[in-house]
Amino acid sequence: MTRLVRSITEMEGRFEEKWVLVSDDEPEAWASDRPLAIVGHETPRTTGPTRVSGAARYTTDVSLPGMLHVAALRSPLAHGRVTGLNREAALAVPGVRAVLDSTDTLSFRSRSGPLYAEPEHAGALLAVVAADTLVAARAGVKALALTIDPLPFVIDVDEAFRDQRIDGEIAEESRGDVDAALAGADVRVELTVETPTQLQTALEPHGAVGWWTEGELTCWVSTQGIFDARSELAKRFSVAPERVRVVADFIGGGFGAKQGAGVEALLAVELSRRTGRPVRFINDRHGEQLDAGSRPATRQTVRLGATGQGDLVAIDSEVLTSFGMTGWRAVNTPAMTLYRCANARGVEANLKLHLRQGNAFRAPMVLEGVTAVEQAMDELAITLGIDPLDLRRRNFVDVDQPSGLPYTSNQLLACYDRVAELSGWVGRDALLEPSEDGLLRGMGCATQIWWGGGGPPSHATIRIGGDGIATVVTGIQDIGTGTLTAAQMVAAEELGLPLDRVRVTGGDTRPNVYGPVAGGSQTSPSVLPAVRGAAAEVKRTLLQLAGDVFEAAPADLDLVNGRFRSSDGALDEPYTEVTGKLGNATVDGSGMRGANPDGMRANTFGCQVAQVAVDPGTGEVRVEHVWAVHDIGRVINPLGARSQVEGGILQGMAFALSEEVAFDPTTGVPTNAWLDDYKIPSIADVPAMTIAFVDVPDTALNNVGAKGLGEPPIIPTPAAIANAFRHATGRRALALPLTRARVVETLA
């Protein structure tokens, strides 16, 4: 029975009630103690060989006959007014087919831009040129011979705050009486920290190939959300969604920045519509680093008040975020939710600056908030003389404090215990003994909180035919996380088939099987239950058919590892004895994600410990080891999950050590929007990593018991490293990243 119900859905902490389609036939959640044959066992990702061999076709690899290439003209100023563009000269370049700038009336609707006459950030698009070759397109851009007058700009936080350049209202949330609680606290700490602007730096830049034919639109997009991209293209170009096909077979990373269609797809389609040719628009690296988004910089002041025993009585957090002209606010989420505290207040303002607008970046805002709150907690532990992990245990809370709702599951205390055991936490002060190599060593910890419960709508279908291969169709776009493999495992588990009898597809809107955007750590907890539902339906049918073939009662049969077996063991036949009789017929099943439980909040938790070695003479900080323990409900694929945590730790480590956009103060232009000066970690920087999961299924949340893992592992790493630096050196760097310059200056 399928029904439409009102249900609360959540994406990165934004809650919304909407109508969702749910099924009454959903399988019961796998019990915690039920042994599973495939789920929970290490499984190499199915697309590994394809990716490694270079056979995988990413958007940037799409090449179509007659395809045009786009080059972009971007603003060389943080704020300016275009005074001259020589379109005729550009159109005169051999091979150039079309030029668009802000004076063109585009066939899609846009509130502002995407081509600007008065750009408000460096790298803003001013014009695009489409040509037979990329070389010709770039020559066309050069021929435009841009002239632009500078206008006043503001990128400085202090200047913007002084001038009260604030986007909208200052957000304030609070409970209790923070001022009174702070005044009455036995112990108070106050810490102001800054976090850097970090770029997503996906290996594959943003890009699309758009092809408009007879009112049908096909678009290859490097996107985290093929269905969002389809909706966006359909709406903007006034085409029915069923006439739009979005394809993303392989995506070379997104980290949050690749939502929807993106400006590249919109302009590629526009140019295709005008020229009648397929059009490819892929950012070059400079364009990508200038204008594909960022994690905006923050300045945060956290005040904590506590009793002498370490019970928090007040949390007070003030945040200034350098978002660009507009953005959203969630940096105070950790301050309001991470620890039990009756009196908490979060004040948050976005400054209006001439910067590229920030966008989602793996645990957006929450990573930043945790980085400040967890450093303040470290200071509180030092002030109180309490073990930092004990301080966190003491202030553990098992309800979502702003709403008062219980969590569907919360294994944070188990994470603390396990990470302490793995890292040898209690003996960490031994690191402070002088070492032969002269390096200062220390260990720090930090807690993680994030949502990641997923929810409806999410659908899957499974079809099995005469060849015995079960094909799972999903709306997953696997941005490198391995969710397709997880779906294959869940389908094989439920069907009772070997893994290699199951194929999973995703990355294409044409089958019209909806999956959510790969964001908010929601793919696994949203899609996998739908896959399991579809598999359960197919299996029910297969058992009925087996009953027909083997003249047995279906209820007496099971399908296990590709064999039909009767409960008395008398029957043991390969499943192909049944599927082989299907001929051209197929057995189909469909599944959908059920509603989230009422009156509960689904969150992921974890704790990481980092060990660093600091060379005070050269300012070098090396992360030697990170121990990570996370509660993500049931672990579907331990191999894939560990890989995901490794990536999160590295990206978090980079935020703490080296990644930082540098802005030229005199022009407002980023000086390091390239890969030579913007330092993501190299293989040689990779620390030792010990990764574990509590692995207790969240049976209240969904039928597979899984929560998400995309965001969680990056969240605590920077604070753990900053706290380890504090432990090692006795000093706290008030801004990240811990570059050599900052370390030398901090230790001076």
Partner 1 sequence: MSVLRSGYVRPTSLGEALQLLAQPGARPMGGGTDLAGLIDRGIGQVATIVDLQALALGGIRGEEGRVVIGATTTLSDLLDAQDMLAPYTALLEATAQAASPLLRNVGTVAGNLCQHTRCWYYRGPEWTCWLGGGDTCYAQVGDHRKHGLQAGDCISAHPSDLAPALIACAATVQLGSAWGDRDIDLADLYRRPTATERSLVDLEPGEIILSVTLPAPPDSSVYLRAGERQGFSFPLVGLAAARHGERVSMCAVGVANTPHVLDPVDPLAGLDGHPQSAWKRTVLATLVERSLATVAP
Give residues in contact with partner 1 (CB under 8 A): 76-77, 122, 134-135, 138-139, 286, 617-620, 622, 657-658, 662-667, 669, 671-672, 674, 676-677, 679, 681-685, 739-741, 744-745, 748
Residue closer to partner 1, measured from CB, 374 or 659: 659
**Amino acid, res. 634:** R
Closest distance to partner 1 from the beta carbon of 727 (Å):
22
3 state DSSP class of 120: coil
3 state DSSP class of 657: helix
CB 559 within 8 A of CB 547: no
Closest distance to partner 1 from the beta carbon of 439 (Å):
12
Residue closer to partner 1, measured from CB, 138 or 634: 138
Closest distance to partner 1 from the beta carbon of 342 (Å):
44
Closest distance to partner 1 from the beta carbon of 734 (Å):
15
Q: Which residues pair with 692 in a beta bridge?
A: 629
DSSP per-residue codes, 664-699 = -TTT--BS--STTTS-PPPGGGPPEEEEEE-----T
Closest distance to partner 1 from the beta carbon of 676 (Å):
7
Closest distance to partner 1 from the beta carbon of 289 (Å):
12
Closest distance to partner 1 from the beta carbon of 127 (Å):
16
Closest distance to partner 1 from the beta carbon of 63 (Å):
18
HSE-up of 657 (CA within 13 Å, CB side)?
Answer: 28
Structure tokens at 320: 């200034």
Residue closer to partner 1, measured from CB, 443 or 657: 657
Q: How far apart are CA 646 and CA 709, in angstroms?
A: 11
Residue closer to partner 1, measured from CB, 135 or 430: 135
Q: Which of 158, 58, 60, 77 is nearest to 120 (CA)?
A: 77
Residue closer to partner 1, measured from CB, 130 or 360: 130
Residue closer to partner 1, measured from CB, 122 or 363: 122
Q: How far apart are CA 693 and CA 378, in angstroms?
A: 24
Residue closer to partner 1, measured from CB, 183 or 203: 203
Residue closer to partner 1, measured from CB, 133 or 471: 133
Closest distance to partner 1 from the beta carbon of 211 (Å):
25
Q: Which of 298, 299, 377 is nearest to 339 (CA)?
A: 377
Q: How far apart are CA 92 and CA 271, in angstroms?
A: 17
Closest distance to partner 1 from the beta carbon of 664 (Å):
5
Structure tokens at 506: 């995703």
Estimate the crossing angle of helix 638-657 against helix 717-729, to 10 degrees: 50
Closest distance to partner 1 from the beta carbon of 144 (Å):
14
Residue closer to partner 1, measured from CB, 732 or 740: 740
Strand 68-74, strand 279-282: pairing: parallel
Q: How far apart are CA 704 and CA 532, in angstroms?
A: 8
CB atoms within 10 A of CB 393: 15
Closest distance to partner 1 from the beta carbon of 113 (Å):
20
Residue closer to partner 1, measured from CB, 77 or 704: 77
Closest distance to partner 1 from the beta carbon of 660 (Å):
10
Residue closer to partner 1, measured from CB, 343 or 739: 739
Closest distance to partner 1 from the beta carbon of 617 (Å):
3
Question: Cα dist. 208→150, 349, 560 in Å?
Answer: 31, 34, 43
Q: How far apart are CA 512 and CA 477, in angstroms?
A: 13
Q: Which residues pair with 611 in a beta bridge?
A: 443, 625
CB 605 within 8 A of CB 693: no
Residue closer to partner 1, measured from CB, 658 or 717: 658
Residue whose entry in the numeric block shows the structure tokens 């003389």:
385
CB atoms within 10 A of CB 157: 18
Residue closer to partner 1, measured from CB, 274 or 679: 679
Q: How far apart are CA 420 and CA 394, in angstroms?
A: 15
Total length of the chain? 748
Structure tokens at 297: 């910089």
Q: How far apart are CA 611 and CA 364, in angstroms?
A: 25
Residue closer to partner 1, measured from CB, 53 or 666: 666
Closest distance to partner 1 from the beta carbon of 748 (Å):
7
Query: Rounded to 5 degrees, what are φ and ψ at 595?
Result: -70, 155
Residue closer to partner 1, measured from CB, 131 or 464: 131
Closest distance to partner 1 from the beta carbon of 92 (Å):
16
Q: How far apart are CA 416 and CA 607, in angstroms?
A: 6
Q: How far apart are CA 37 and CA 592, in angstroms?
A: 23
Residue closer to partner 1, measured from CB, 438 or 599: 438
Strand 216-221, strand 244-247: pairing: parallel
Estimate the crossing angle of helix 523-550 against helix 483-495, to 10 degrees: 30
3 state DSSP class of 376: helix
b/e map of 66-77 (b: 16 or more CB within 10 Å)?
ebbbbbbbbbbb
DSSP H helices in 75-147: 87-92, 134-143
CB 445 within 8 A of CB 607: yes
Closest distance to partner 1 from the beta carbon of 622 (Å):
8
Residue closer to partner 1, measured from CB, 554 or 616: 616
Give me the numbers of helices (H) and strands (E) for the chain, helices first please. Answer: 18, 29
